[in-house]
């Protein structure tokens, strides 16, 4: 596949991340809390997933509310105002409602008076996909500043009587502002994505869409909650995270040793470490923060990036690999030279 940055002769207009900000709701749901709600233990959750606690919204707080907080701070950190944003791309699987899109709600809440926008539905790959869409818009020269958000209120679609899923997820949001890179070696270098729709039944919310509209029956059967076949998703995620990362590294002639950081979607610590081992990335180059946030779906990668920045593990000029696998199945990877 010919990529714009590989074409050589044409001057490169590359998108770069100009700022990053995240937001999680203050309320904590700990493993000890879950022990009182379902038949589980702190030990099981920690050993099988790496999660200790997650943040959960109060009733009435929606995805656009979390997205707004992250977005306004990201815009401020970029030295811009909301009126400078041309496009808003929101990755989410828990929009406030079917329509209008969360991007429209965020546009209004932050006062991005010049922006257009839309949502990207790719579950746990929503941030890598939204980042790709936004960066291509900047690279194509049709947008100067794109606000890319990954935000989810997973607690709104989790069955807190189902121990197989309720221990896994949390709520959160992350936003980046993309702009034109001053230096073509810095920014979004490449992406590699795939979907495999045959995996759909392994992780889905069965009702509430056009196939099974909400009814007394669907509510009684608890079909408006996340249903997951954990083991098959686990196996797919380990294999595909490795595959997609090897492909993007190979195409860009980058070795695992040249990477400064591996920033994966945070669904399970064991998935991340197995994939890192397969690719040949040592533990000290892997960001893990699932212990504090759980799986926040579209928000995990910006939350992980933020932790990396705050702890001094991610610096200007670092070469980093983002990776995601999620419901769909969706698979994504983005190679980035960090520029802030
Ligand atoms: O981001 C979206 C993508 N999602 C993922 O990537 C998630 C992928 N899957 C996973 O992370 C793991 O499969 C889980 C964490 C969901 C489950 O871990 P596992 O090691 O695959 O456990 P399992 O489903 O094989 O269950 C093992 C045992 C079962 O008991 P038996 O049949 O051996 O008696 C389960 O009933 O653990 C039991 N179990 C629990 N026990 C205590 C399942 N959930 C729990 C729980 N607490 N919360």
Residue 314 contacts residue 261 (beta carbons within 8 Å): yes
Looking at residue 11, what is its pLDDT? Answer: 72
pLDDT digits (tens, 9 = 90+) for 93-116: 999 999 999 999 999 999 999 999
pLDDT digits (tens, 9 = 90+) for 10-25: 678 999 999 999 999 9
- 41 Cα–ligand 1 center, Å: 12
Looking at residue 5, what is its pLDDT? Answer: 53
Distance between CA atoms of 62 and 59, rounded to whole angstroms? Answer: 8
Residue 295 catalytic? yes
Domain boundaries, the chain: 15-180, 187-337
DSSP state of 135: H
Give the CA count within 13 Å in the CB-facing half-sphere of 195.
Answer: 13
Looking at residue 190, what is its pLDDT? Answer: 97
Looking at residue 1, what is its pLDDT? Answer: 42
Ligand 1 neighbours, Cβ below 6 Å, are 40, 44, 48-49, 124, 163-164, 167, 203, 230-231, 233-234, 237, 267-268, 271, 295, 326
- 221 Cα–ligand 1 center, Å: 22
- 164 Cα–ligand 1 center, Å: 6
pLDDT digits (tens, 9 = 90+) for 301-336: 999 999 999 999 999 999 999 999 999 999 999 999
The tokens describing 164, both together, are 């197989």
Of 5, 55, 145, 265, which residue is the catalytic one?
265
Give the CA count within 13 Å in the CB-facing half-sphere of 217.
Answer: 3
Residue 306 catalytic? no
* pLDDT higher than threshold 60 for residue 274: yes
pLDDT digits (tens, 9 = 90+) for 125-150: 999 999 999 999 999 999 999 999 99
Looking at residue 2, what is its pLDDT? Answer: 45
Query: Which CATH code for domain 187-337?
Result: 3.40.47.10
Looking at residue 3, what is its pLDDT? Answer: 58
What's the N-to-C CA distance of the chain in angstroms?
Answer: 29
Query: Which CATH code for domain 15-180?
Result: 3.40.47.10
Mean pLDDT across the chain, nearest whole number? Answer: 96
Looking at residue 7, what is its pLDDT? Answer: 53
H/E segment holding residue 50: none
Looking at residue 204, what is its pLDDT? Answer: 98
Of 5, 55, 104, 124, which residue is the catalytic one?
124
The tokens describing 86, both together, are 């041309």
Q: Do domains 15-180 and 187-337 have the same CATH topology?
A: yes
Distance between CA atoms of 91 and 63, rounded to whole angstroms? Answer: 10
pLDDT digits (tens, 9 = 90+) for 175-230: 999 999 999 999 999 999 999 999 999 999 999 999 999 999 999 999 999 999 99
- 40 Cα–ligand 1 center, Å: 11
| Edge-to-edge strand list for the sheet holding 187-195 | 187-195, 330-337, 319-326, 261-264
Alpha-carbon dihedral sign for residues 309, 18, 102, 69: positive
Residue 265 catalytic? yes
């Amino acid at each position: 596949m010919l990529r714009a940055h590989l074409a050589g002769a044409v001057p490169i207009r590359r998108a770069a991340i100009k700022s990053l900000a995240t937001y999680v709701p203050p309320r904590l749901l700990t493993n000890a809390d879950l022990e009182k709600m379902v038949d589980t233990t702190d030990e099981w959750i920690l050993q099988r997933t790496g999660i200790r606690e997650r943040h959960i919204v109060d009733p009435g707080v929606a995805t656009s509310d979390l997205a707004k907080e992250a977005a306004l701070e990201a815009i401020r950190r970029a030295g811009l105002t909301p009126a400078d944003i041309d496009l808003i791309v929101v990755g989410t699987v828990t929009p406030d409602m079917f329509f209008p899109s969360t991007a429209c709600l965020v546009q209004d809440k932050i006062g991005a008076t010049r922006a257009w926008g839309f949502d990207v539905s790719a579950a746990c790959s929503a941030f890598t996909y939204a980042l790709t869409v936004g960066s291509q818009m900047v690279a194509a020269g049709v947008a100067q500043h794109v606000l890319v958000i990954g935000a989810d209120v997973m607690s709104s679609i989790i069955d807190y009587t189902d121990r197989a899923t309720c221990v896994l997820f949390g709520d959160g949001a992350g936003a980046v502002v993309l702009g034109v890179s001053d230096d073509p070696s810095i920014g979004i270098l490449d992406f590699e994505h795939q979907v495999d729709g045959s995996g759909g039944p392994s992780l889905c919310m069965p009702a509430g869409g056009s196939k099974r509209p909400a009814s007394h029956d669907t509510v009684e059967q608890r079909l408006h909650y996340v249903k997951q076949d954990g083991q098959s998703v686990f196996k797919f995620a380990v294999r595909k995270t490795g595959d997609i990362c090897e492909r993007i590294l190979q195409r860009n002639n980058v070795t695992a040793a040249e990477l400064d950081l591996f920033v994966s979607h945070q669904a399970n610590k064991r998935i991340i470490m197995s994939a890192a081992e397969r690719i040949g990335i040592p533990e000290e180059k892997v960001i893990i923060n699932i212990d504090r946030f759980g799986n926040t779906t579209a928000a995990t990668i910006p939350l992980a990036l933020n932790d990396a920045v705050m702890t001094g593990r991610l610096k200007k000029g670092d070469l980093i690999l983002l990776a995601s696998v999620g419901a769909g199945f969706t698979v994504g990877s983005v190679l980035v030279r960090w520029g802030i």
